[in-house]
Chains A and B, each alone.
Chain A
Amino acid sequence: MNRKNLFTVALLALLSLTLPVVSFAAVELLNVSYDPTRELYQDFNSAFGKYWKKKSGQDLTVKQSHGGSGKQARSVIDGLEADVVTLALAYDIDEIHDKAKLIPENWQKRLPLNSSPYTSTIVFLVRKGNPKHIKDWNDLVKPGVAVITPNPKTSGGARWNYLAAWAYALKQKGGNDAKAKEFVTKLFKNVPVLDSGARGSTTTFVQRGQGDVLLAWENEAFLAVNELGKDKFEIVVPSLSILAEPPVSVVDKVVDRKGTRKVAEEYLKYLYTPEGQEIAARHYYRPTDKKVAAKHAKTFAKVKLVTIDKEFGGWRKAQTTHFADGGVFDQIYSPTK
């Protein structure tokens, strides 16, 4: 009996805790994002906060949550109350529609440029002096080269890495799907460890000194070089890479319930303004605004970029073909070699 009362008391105590969370906050947004955008959104939030204060007089706090892109989408599906999601790839936001119906199916059409205010690409990070002479994708399949990349099953960045390698093989003379599969298989034979997220792989390469080359987001590679020493690492830009479009969306069901739609939409639109683009460029995301892009043209190497829509028929198709259970990645990668 005693225990039953105790349980009731405990439950009441817990419920009472939820009250302050529910009651009147000023304006607060939650941006659920993927791993490498922490620094970008820290800057962007304070800039947008000032802009919004001027425009509406409201004090705005933007809270951030970061993690592997797929995992973050899962949290939103399970009820993490994100006003906006800014994830690594469109498929993860598609999942929020498919599994929880929190956003409409056509979410990606609502903002310009496939709802991707900034883009990025995949580059190589190598150790200073490039001791293994890694210049392009075909150097990655040579014996004795250890490649660090996260797991495509869990990491958005890793899926871009994988598709970039595939696209490279397709574009070679006589390239076809079978050849590409063989190439990517060989590449993954050279991968000693798969971390679950992009940041984890960077730490493995940079901090723990494993591997000869890290396949990384361009912005992540820049950040690693800047934070941890220009004398230790070099960025190598391959002959061809993939145009990575990390998309953004308002989470309709959440903003409508919380009454934050207006500010949330404004927040995302601000990413497209010259101010927003400038902040993105400063954090090494490729700006889509022509003027800002021209200003930062020196930072970003010119590289031939293929797109997911043209080369792979969009994310849904790429996901089913390559990364779903039993897909191509499952066929070519076995942890016990």
Chain B
Amino acid sequence: MHVAGGLKKTKSTKQGRGLGEPALVRWLLIAVTIGFLALFLLVPLAAVFSQALEKGWETYLAALHEPDTLAAIKLTLLTATISVPLNLVFGVVAAWGIAKFDFPGKSFLITLIDLPFSVSPVVSGLIYVLLFGLQGWLGPWLQAHDLKIIFAVPGIVLATIFVTFPFVARELIPLMEAQGREEEEAALTLGASGLQTFLRVTLPNIKWGILYGVILCNARAMGEFGAVSVVSGHVRGSTNTIPLQVEILYNEYNFAAAFAVASLLALLALVTLVVKTVAEWKVRQELANN
């Protein structure tokens, strides 16, 4: 049945778009994709929530109210509140500079922005240990002045900023390049100042792109494990973020609580996906309107 139906469709698409794959191949590819998605994304996601709620809502809520877990949630929120705005400002500035102006070394700058994507998070964490650790370059000086960077909140924030560095810029650069410079040039010839041009012309054009970048950046900032693990020191109730707390609870045979905390991150992921879909759709609309 499928084959018959598929064949007809093949014919119509053949005429319509000039694609020549047999129906069977197409169905097979779609089935493989869906099967893969279900196996590797949906099943684990469902497992997180079912494990989290295995012992009922009360245990679930109690697990989230535990002081060390609350401290981890607070620290994660604090980290995201600092690192995301910084990377937002940086991302917009960098994308503006790269997309709207020409200057020597531009492609090198783009490569630099991409660096955190290609470096393993563990290495990113170790960089800070090497810099700020007691045996590192700045460690003795910091200690003499009673400043703590690694194994304290600043180190966690720094590592998170490094890891989430490219997200906003990477999202905006292609979008701004695709939009071109005509509108800005028109604004400037009509007498607008640089700031006016940015606020009235550029910003409205990229607002959905910014939102998308911020959401991705935030998701990574809250979910980062490797880099943060290296600089955290794992002091309970002070330097554990949500992902580190999940690991600790799991290692303490406290599975319900571990999955309860993990479900927070899973929820974050779901929200991210929804906002991302909306933002992507809006971006496409904006490009089409242009």
Contacts and interface: CB of A to CB of B under 8 A. Distances in A.
B253 to A, nearest CB: 5
Interface in A188-228: 199-200, 203, 227-228
Given A18-B147, A78-B134, A65 B233 contact: yes
A77 interface: yes
Interface in A49-96: 63-67, 75, 77-81
A166 B117 CA distance: 45
Given A17-B153, A21-B152, A199 B234 contact: no
Q: Is the interface of A mostly helix, strand, loop or mixed?
A: helix
Interface string A1-36: 011001000100111011001100000001000010
A18 B152 contact: yes
Size band of the B side of the interface?
35 or more
A80 B242 CA distance: 20
Contact of A64 (B136, B151, B157, B236): B236
Interface string A79-121: 1110000000000000000011000000000000000000000
Contact of A63 (B133, B134, B148, B236): B236
Contacts of B93: 2-3, 6
A95 B235 CA distance: 21
A77 B135 contact: yes
Interface in B207-248: 233-238, 248
Contacts of A3: 90, 93-94
Interface in A219-245: 227-228
A80 B136 CA distance: 13
Interface string A152-168: 00000000000000000
B150 interface: yes
Contacts of B233: 65, 75, 80
A295 interface: no
A99 B135 CA distance: 9
B235 A18 contact: no
B89 A228 contact: no
A199 B251 contact: yes
A79 B86 contact: no
A13 to B, nearest CB: 7
Given A10-B86, A17-B153, A77-B135, A67 B234 contact: yes
B234 A14 contact: no
Interface in B64-115: 82, 86, 89-90, 93-94
Nearest to B94: A3
A133 interface: no
B119 to A, nearest CB: 19
Given A17-B157, A18-B147, A79 B133 contact: yes
By Cβ-Cβ distance, the 7 closest A-B pairs, closest first, are A79-B134, A78-B133, A80-B151, A80-B233, A227-B253, A65-B234, A14-B154
Given A3-B93, A6-B90, A80-B151, 8 more contacts: A10-B86, A38-B252, A65-B234, A78-B136, A78-B139, A79-B134, A79-B135, A79-B151
